[in-house]
Amino acid sequence: MNTLSLLRAQARQLDWIGVILALTLTIVIILPLLVVATWAFTEVWRYPSVLPQQFGLRFWHQTLARADVWNALMLSLRLTTTVTLLSALICLPAAYAFARMDFPGRNIFFLSFLASHAFPKFGLLVTIAGIFLQLHLISTFWGVALIQLVGTLMLMIWIPVAAFQNVDRRMEEAARDVGAGPLRVFWSITLPQAAPTIFAAVLLTFVSTFYETEGAWLIGAPQISTMPVLMISFINNQLVVQYGAVLSVMLWVPSFIALMFARRVMSSNAFAKGFGA
C-alpha cells in the first residue's frame, strides 16, 4: 500500500507540468497539422462547418498517379542522405578542430559559415550559377549535392562545436592513454559523448536539406527535380490546398517514424550522460 501511494504521489507530481505542456503543445502543434491532414482527405470544406462537407481521395489519386512524385521522392532521399553523410564527414572533424584546436584565422573561418545562412540567395545566384556552369554541374545530381552541402555547413559546424566543447577532456585523455590516436579518440569517445547534440544537428541537416528548394531548383533544373521542388510547384499559387496537404501528409509518416527513432537515441544517451560526470 505504501509503495503504491508513493508511486501515485510521484506520478501526480511529475504530471502536473507534463500534462500542461502536453496539452498546450497538442493544441498548438496538432491543430494546424490536423487541419492540413483533414484537408488532404477533403474535397469540399466550407465555413462554418466543423467537418468537411465532402471527404474524398481524389487528390490522393491525382497526386500518387503522377510518376514524377515517386521518382522525385526517391531522388530526394538519395540526395539528402548523400548530402547529410558528406556533410557529417567533412564538418564534424572541422567542428572538432574549431572546438579544440588553435590555428590562425580560427574565429574568422568560424564566423564565415554564418554567411551561408545570413545572405539572401538571390544576391548570389548569378555568381554561383556561373561557377557551376563552368564545371558542368548544372542539372546534375552532384551539382545539387554540392550546393546543398554548402547549405548544411553552418548547421553541421556551429552546433557540434558547442557539443564538442562540452565533452570532458579527461575522457579523451584516458583514451589517448590506452593508445588511441586522435582520430580514434574522436570517433570512439568524443563523438559518442557529443552524440545527442550531433544527432540533433544531423537530424536538422537531413530535414532542412530535404526541404531545401532554392539550391535544388537553381542547380537541378531541368533534369534533377526533388520532392519539395515538385511540391512547391504543386502548392504555390495553387487554388487547391489539397495537393500540398496530400504531399505533406505523405511525408509525415516517414518523418514520424524517424522522429520516434530519434527520440530513443537521443533521450537514452542524454539520460546516461546526465548521470555521471
Partner 1 sequence: MAQLTIQNLHKSFASTTAVDSVNLHVEDGELICLLGPSGSGKSTILRMIGGFEHPTSGAILIDGEDVTRLPPERRPTGMMFQSHALWSHMTVFGNIAFGLKLRRLPKAEIRDKVESALELVGLGGYGTRMTSQLSGGQQQRVALARSLVLEPKILLLDEPFASLDQHLRERLREEVRDIQQRLGITTLFVTHGQDEALAMADRIAVLRDGRIEQIAPADVIYREPQTEFVAGFIGTMNLIKSEVRNGRFHHADLGLPMPLHDGEATLAIRPEDVVLTATRNEPSAVVTRFTDFGSYHLVDVQLADGHRIKAMTAPASRWRKGDRVAVLVSSYAAFRNQHLAYTSTDTHELIKETEHV
Partner 2 sequence: AGGPVNVFTGADANIVDFWNNIVAPAFAKAHPGESIKVIDAGDDSGLRAIAERALAALASKTDPHADLFEAFDPKLPAGGIKAGLWVDFKQAKIPLYDHINAMAFQSDYSLPYRGSQVLLAYDSTKLDPKKAPKTWADLTAWIKANPGQFIYNRPDKGGSGGNFVRRAIHEVNGRDPAKFTIDNFTPAYAEKTLTPAWKLLQDLAPSLYDKGAYTSGNTQSIQLLAQGVVTMVPVWSDQILKAIKEGVLPDTTGLVQLTDLALCGDFNRMVIPTNATNKDAAMKLAAFMLTDEMQKAVITEIGGFPAISWDYLPKDLRDKYADVVPKSIPTFPQGDWSPAVNDGWYRNVAPNLARG
Partner 3 sequence: MPTGRRLNGLLLVAIPVLLVGWLIIYPIFAAIITTIWVEDGESSKFSIASYRFFFSDAYSLGNLTLTLWTTAVCAVLLIACGLPIALYLRFSRSPLAGYIQGLAIFPMFVPSVILSYALIRTIGPNGAVDILLHSIGLPKLPTPYLTPWGPVIGLVWDNLPLTVLMLTAGLGGISNSSVEAARDVGAGPLRVFVHIILPRMGNSLLVASSFAVLGIFSSFTLPYVLGPASPEMMGPFMSRTFNDLYDPLNAKTQAVICFAFCLVFGLFYVYSIARNQEKTSR
Binding to partner 1 (CB under 8 A): which residues in 149-188?
A: 168, 170-171, 173-182, 184, 188
- Partner whose binding site includes residue 41, from partner 3, partner 2, partner 1, none (CB under 5 to 8 Å by kind): none
Q: Contact between 135 and partner 3 (CB under 8 A)?
A: no
Q: Contact between 19 and partner 3 (CB under 8 A)?
A: yes
By the 8 A CB rule, do 97 and 103 touch? yes
Q: Contact between 214 and partner 2 (CB under 8 A)?
A: yes
Question: For partner 1, how many residues bind (rule: CB under 8 A)?
Answer: 30
- Partner whose binding site includes residue 177, from partner 2, partner 1, partner 3, none (CB under 5 to 8 Å by kind): partner 1
Binding to partner 3 (CB under 8 A): which residues in 53-82?
A: none
Tell me the residue length of the chain: 277
Closest CA to 207 of 34, 74, 76, 112: 76
Per-residue interface string for the shown chain with partner 3, residues 159-178, x marking contact by CB under 8 A: x-xxx-xx--x---------
- Partner whose binding site includes residue 183, from partner 1, partner 2, partner 3, none (CB under 5 to 8 Å by kind): none
| The one among 6, 29, 74, 85 contacting partner 3 by CB under 8 A | 29
Q: Contact between 236 and partner 2 (CB under 8 A)?
A: yes
List all residues 6 or more positions away from 132 whose beta carbon is below 8 Å from its beta carbon: 138, 143, 146, 147, 219
Q: Where are the alpha helices (DSSP H) in the chain?
A: 2-25, 31-40, 58-64, 67-100, 106-112, 115-118, 125-134, 141-166, 169-177, 182-185, 191-193, 195-210, 214-220, 227-235, 242-275
In whole angstroms, give the CA distance from residue 250 to residue 245. 8
Cβ closer to partner 1: 66 or 184? 184
Closest CA to 242 of 28, 35, 30, 27: 35
- Partner whose binding site includes residue 165, from partner 2, partner 3, partner 1, none (CB under 5 to 8 Å by kind): partner 3
Cβ closer to partner 2: 206 or 243? 243
By the 8 A CB rule, do 176 and 256 touch? no
Per-residue interface string for the shown chain with partner 2, residues 25-64, x marking contact by CB under 8 A: ------------------xx-xxx-----x----------
In DSSP terms, 211 is beta-bridged to none
